[in-house]
Amino acid sequence: MKMIRAHNLTLSLRDGQRRLPVLQGIDIHIKQGEWVALTGANGCGKTSLIRTFNGLNTPSAGSLSVAGLDMRSPQNRAAVKQRVQLVFQNPEAQTVGSTPFEDIAFGLENRGLPRNLMIMRIREILQQVGLDHKAEADVATLSGGERQRLAVGSCLALEADMIIFDEATSMLDPAGRRDITELAQGLWRSGTTVLWVTQRMEELAESPRIAVLGGGQLLYDGDPRTLFYTSGLPDSLGWVPAPVVSVGRLLHSQGWPLHLLPLTEPQLEELL
């Protein structure tokens, strides 16, 4: 099943009396259960694209279906918000309850669950995101990483088929980034579709598939080794290569095959 199916997707947004093109001719398919990393410079259209996937923007032209729903229909754009959930960059902007328990309860109450089942489900979700010991804590006392885990818990409460992490680690310390990444990877391994929006080279290198946006267009959609070692795109976009990739390029120049070139520090350590 295709979670995302976009063909020639075009989006224009109003700026005063004018409509400005934001996305142009995007073709991308994402299968149920895939992990795809989305990257590109600030202003390239990443946020506009994910807001279109989530039903917050209306396509101007082309076709887009999300979880089998045609996103040209206003009714479907409203329905898809439960199926596709967003975890935003700023963890402080995503909580509605005063405690983690209340925050998770908010989404479940809207689904009309009986209270005994709701309490059981809240406990399960808090345990899943590692916050069961903070169930009654004041949300303001949680760390940035804990607030992001709580945001993921709110997505789980709605039983989302797909979670979009919109640079969700960019405001966290290394420990918080690792926690959120491992939590997202666990959800992916259990079948949740993940769209991981990031500009961190190390996070891109660990992704099985990378989509690169530039100027509202899809510049690349493929595997990380091809992107970093043979496409020429990172250099043309002015990306500073990670040290691991710099070593890999040296190995490549000496005849090492593409499939052996390292993308992560553990892979480099294994080669050496």
Residue 23 lies in a domain: yes
Residue bearing the bigger pLDDT, 18 or 190: 190
Which residue range(s) make up the domain with 85?
2-223
DSSP the chain: -EEEEEEEEEEEEEETTEEEEEEEEEEEEEETT-EEEEE--TTSSHHHHHHHHTTSS--SEEEEEETTEETTSHHHHHHHHHHEEEE-S-GGGS--SSSHHHHHHHHHHHTT--HHHHHHHHHHHHHHTT-GGGTTS-GGGS-HHHHHHHHHHHHHHTT-SEEEEESTTTTS-HHHHHHHHHHHHHHHHTT-EEEEE---HHHHHT-S-EEEEETTEEEEEE-HHIIIIIS-HHHHTTPPPPHHHHHHHHHHHTT--GGGS--SHHHHHHH-
Q: What integer is the mean pLDDT of 182-194?
A: 94
The per-residue pLDDT for 106 is: 83
Task: Tell me what pLDDT residue 213 has.
Answer: 97
pLDDT above 90 for 115: no
Residue 27 lies in a domain: yes
Q: What is the pLDDT of residue 43?
A: 87
**What's residue 107's pLDDT?**
77
Q: How confident is the model at residue 2 (pLDDT cuts 50, 70, 90)?
A: confident
How many Å separate Cα 138 from the centre of its chain? 27
In a domain, 185, yes or no: yes
Q: If pLDDT is split at 50, 70 and 90, which confidence band does 191 have?
A: very high
User: What CATH code is carried by the domain that includes residue 185?
Assistant: 3.40.50.300
Give a yes or no: residue 262 inside a domain: no
Q: Is residue 256 part of a domain?
A: no
Q: Quick one: pLDDT at residue 245? A: 93
Full 3-state SS string of 141-181: HCCHHHHHHHHHHHHHHCCCCEEEEECCCCCCCHHHHHHHH
138-179 pLDDT tens trace: 999 998 889 999 999 988 888 889 999 999 998 888 888 899
Look at the chain and report how many structural domains it folds into.
1
Which pLDDT value is given to residue 95?
A: 80
pLDDT in tens, 55-99: 999 999 999 999 999 998 989 988 898 889 999 888 777 788 889
Tokens of 260: 């052996």
With respect to residue 129, please indicate whether it lies within any of the assigned structural domains: yes
- Output the pLDDT for position 30: 97
Tell me the C-alpha distance between 195 and 166, whole Å. 8
> Residue 165 has what pLDDT?
95
The residue ranking higher by pLDDT, 14 or 58, is 58
Q: What is the pLDDT of residue 173?
A: 87
Mean pLDDT of the chain: 91
Structure pTM?
0.92
Q: Tell me what the mean pLDDT of segment 88-116 comes to.
A: 83
Is the predicted pLDDT of residue 242 greater than 80, yes or no?
A: yes
Proportion of the chain above pLDDT 90, given as a percent: 69
Whether the per-residue pLDDT at 112 is higher than 80: the answer is no
Q: What is the mean pLDDT of residues 232-259?
A: 92
In this structure, is residue 87 part of a structural domain? yes
Flag whether 24 is in a domain: yes
